[in-house]
Structure 1
Amino acid sequence: MIDPAAIDLAALLPFILIGFAAQLVDGALGMAFGVICNTLLVAVLGVPPATASARIHVVEIFTTGASGLSHLFHRNIDWPLFLRLLIPGVIGGVAGAYVLTSLHAEVVKPFVLGYLVLIGIWLLVRGLLYPPKIARPKVVAPLAAVGGFLDAAGGGGWGPVVTSNLLVQGGEPRKIVGTVNSVEFFLAVAVSLAFIWQLGLDDILGPTLGLIIGGVVAAPIGAMMAKRFSPKLMLVMVGTVLTATSAFGLYRALA
């Protein structure tokens, strides 16, 4: 049983704020929750990568569930695209969870981050200089499998990989963000089940509980923001967030 008296609210507050900010960005732009939280847990607190990824995905069961329901309410979900992303994304995520302990992710991480920096810059330029042209994405299943694998293996990556690439293919921004966020709930459940043997009940205390609280509170706000932003503004914002977070991660990986 969880003892409420064991929860230090003062120590919990920073993680509530981090969870709120990360989910606000993720709900509105379709990325960055895992990236922000993984940076905090691994780089700042020194949590082992596998444990950090497991905790993040447990948190994301709650945050993506709330976010998915909010996007459903605001009609931000493209159901045919949802179905095309779901199964390959879950398969990739479970595979990533199982090979994390043996995969030397640090070797390939700089290349993935460098790729995401270029994608972010491209989206930023596209948003600034050209009116967005809406088209139905064609490359979906392989993208979902890769995004799910990288998300589980690296503690974050579903949003940056899948959202950014679907936007590059011309998808409607609010529909892409809503659909990718909604599929992420099922990905989080599958990856968490693959990781769950590593976790005890006490692991949902402290930082993880704070991230859950902050993320769930922010989820409806992020979905509302995704509906109200213009496609051009969303492209600029996604490009900016993706470029900044990926560039920072690349700097850390090469330092």
Structure 2
Amino acid sequence: MEFAPIQSLVYAAIGALIGFFSGLLGIGGGAVQTPLTVLAFEAHGLPREHIAHVAVATGVASIAFTAAASTLAHHRHGAVDWPLLARLTPGLVVGGFAGGFLAQLLPTATLAMVLAAFIGYASLAMAFDLRPAPHRGLPGPIGLAALGGAVGAMSTLVGAGGAVLLVPALTWFNVPFRRAIGTGAAIGLPIAVTGTTAHVLAGLGQPGLPPGSIGYVWLPALAPFVAASMLLAPVGARLSHRVPARALRRLFAATMFGLALRMAWSLAGG
């Protein structure tokens, strides 16, 4: 398997898209990055039995860098609720670490269907604004820890930053939408650090991984992902505080729904 410059450009383009939407909507990237990365890895000729796991792990690793750039930009607009983040973090760490190992236990076809179901749900929720009307306050410490654990586990399992799940939950608990986006961007960092560690450890010693892998994280794709996403994340964050995102959110959701169907068909043996 040879690595051509055009492939680096493809991964950089994916990273730029991830960074922009991370800043704009607070999403950590999995809803966009995982299906696009799966398609790119298929075209690149990565071992089919490892494509889903490597795509998820590499996406999780890139989230740490994208989340840092996006969080800084939202913090400058006062949109990150740091005390709330501190209460969510213990659950995020535990759940993120558990999700990384759970992903290793699932076969590729099963993981592909989990990914497709998650991305399909996220895209529909984004398109139709599916959430209860915000009418209640945040839960106590135990409730926030449980919420953090659930978000962390699912995020690491499917290679997302967690905001696709957390932002609707926070708005349901009456957190202002822009603050929910900023805080959703910030949770990507603890999830990514613990999730990446889990994916690296779970993949150590696995036969047939492509050259340049550390566990399930593939460095030749990670580098262009990170470089491009960190450049575009602040741009998206600035835009999120200037223009309504509803139309962009729905267009984005429709694209992701189509990619989710394509990924499920391909990796599930269709």
1:153 aligned residue (149, 152, 157): 157
Q: TM-score, normalising length from structure 1?
A: 0.78
> Per the alignment, do residues 35 and 161 of structure 1 end up closer, same or farther by CA in structure 2, a change over 3 Å counting?
same
2:111 counterpart (105, 115, 119): 105
* 101-110 vs 24-33, greater mean Cα deviation: 101-110
The C-alpha deviation readout for 1:96-123, integer Å capped at 9, x for no partner, is: 1011122343455555445434422441
What is the CA-CA distance between 1:63 and the residue it aligns to?
1.4
2:79 to 73, 76, 79: 76
> Residue 123 of structure 1 contacts residue 239 of structure 1 at CA under 8 Å; is this kept in 2?
no
User: What percentage of aligned pairs have identical amino acids?
Assistant: 23
Separation (CA, whole Å) in 2 of partners of 1:170 and 1:246: 27
Determine the C-alpha separation between the residues in 1 that align with 2:115 and 2:211: 31
Question: 1:31-50 counterparts in 2 under 5 A?
Answer: 31=27, 33-46=29-42, 48-50=51-53
Task: State the Cα distance separating 1:184 from its structure 2 match.
Answer: 0.9
Asked if the contact 2:119/2:260 (under 8 Å) is kept, the reply is yes
Amino acid at match of 1:245: M
Identify unmatched segments of 5+ residues in structure 1: 1-5, 127-131
Contact conserved, 2:52 with 2:112, CA < 8 A, in 1? no
Deviation at 1:213, TM superposition (A): 0.7
Shift of 1:234: 3.5
Q: Name the CA shift for 1:176/1:88 in 2 (closer, same or farther; >3 Å).
A: same
In the alignment, the residues of structure 1 paired with residue 131 and residue 197 of structure 2 have an alpha-carbon distance, to the nearest angstrom, of: 39
In structure 1, C-alpha distance between the alignment counterparts of 2:138 and 2:31, rounded to whole Å = 24
Amino acid at match of 1:22: I
* Corresponding position: 1:216 with 2:227: no
Of 93, 96, 107, the match for 2:96: 93
Runs of 4+ in 1 over 4 A off after TM superposition: 6-10, 106-111, 132-140
Higher relative helix content: 1
Structure 2 letter corresponding to 1:189: V
1:219/1:135 CA distance change after superposition, 3 Å: farther
Aligned length: 242
Q: Does 1:202 align with 2:212?
A: yes
The answer to whether structure 1 residue 185 and structure 2 residue 189 are counterparts is yes
Distance 1:56 1:108, change over 3 A: closer
The change in CA–CA distance for 1:63 and 1:32 in structure 2 (over 3 A counts) is closer
Matches within 5 A, 1:138-149: 138=139, 140-149=144-153
CA contact 1:49–1:155 (8 Å) conserved in 2: no
CA RMSD of superposed structures (Å): 3.3
Q: Residue 40 and residue 121 in structure 1: after superposition, are their counterparts in 2 closer, same or farther (change >3 A)?
A: closer
Post-superposition offset of 1:74 = 2.4
The code of the aligned residue for 1:64 comes to A
Amino acid at match of 1:176: A
Residue in structure 2 matched with residue 3 of structure 1 by the alignment: none
Query: Is the alpha carbon distance of 1:73 and 1:151 closer, same or farther for their aligned partners in structure 2, counting shifts above 3 Å?
Result: same
On the 8 A contact 2:161/2:188 being kept in 1, the answer is no
2:59 counterpart SS class: helix
**TM-score, with structure 2 as normaliser:** 0.74
Question: 1:123 touches 1:236 (CA, 8 Å); kept in 2?
Answer: no
The equivalent residue for 2:125 is 119
Query: Aligned in 2, Cα 1:20/1:115: closer, same or farther, shift over 3 Å?
Result: closer
| Mapped contact 2:22–2:70 kept (Cα < 8 A) | no
Kindly indicate whether the alpha-carbon contact (under 8 Å) linking 1:120 and 1:243 is maintained by their aligned counterparts in 2: no
- 1:45 CA drift (Å): 1.5
* Contact 1:11-1:206 at 8 Å conserved across structures: no
Q: 1:25 aligns with which of 11, 21, 34?
A: 21
